[in-house]
Amino acid sequence: MTSIRNNNAPRRYFVDAVGRRVLIGLTPEETFEFERLDSEPDDGRAGAIWIERGSQPAPGEQRWLELYAKHEDAWKVWMARSRVDQPYL
């Protein structure tokens, strides 16, 4: 996630029609699920998913990775479009 304190960092959320913060590329329900999974403790490394090379992720980790990949792909498209829409100074 981007830091709230860094005003130059683009926001990864948008506000939907009913005022919910939603991660770009995810539904409101997926955003809620992602944030819940992201905040679950994982051996003292809350907010981080660590997978040993060659091992299978736990079910929660797998879902977190799926949601993260979906968000990240949409984020990249959004950023590319934002750059195209920016006027040159």
Q: Is the pLDDT of residue 6 over 60?
A: no
Beta pairing, strands 21-23 & 13-15: antiparallel
pLDDT bin (cut points 50, 70, 90) of residue 4 is: very low
13-57 pLDDT, tens per residue? 999 999 999 999 999 999 999 999 988 776 555 445 555 666 777
State pTM to two decimals. Answer: 0.68
pLDDT in the model for residue 42: 60
Q: Is the pLDDT of residue 65 over 60?
A: yes
Three-state SS for 5-33 is CCCCCCCCEEECCCCCEEECCCCHHHHHH
pLDDT in the model for residue 43: 57
Q: Is the pLDDT of residue 71 over 60?
A: yes
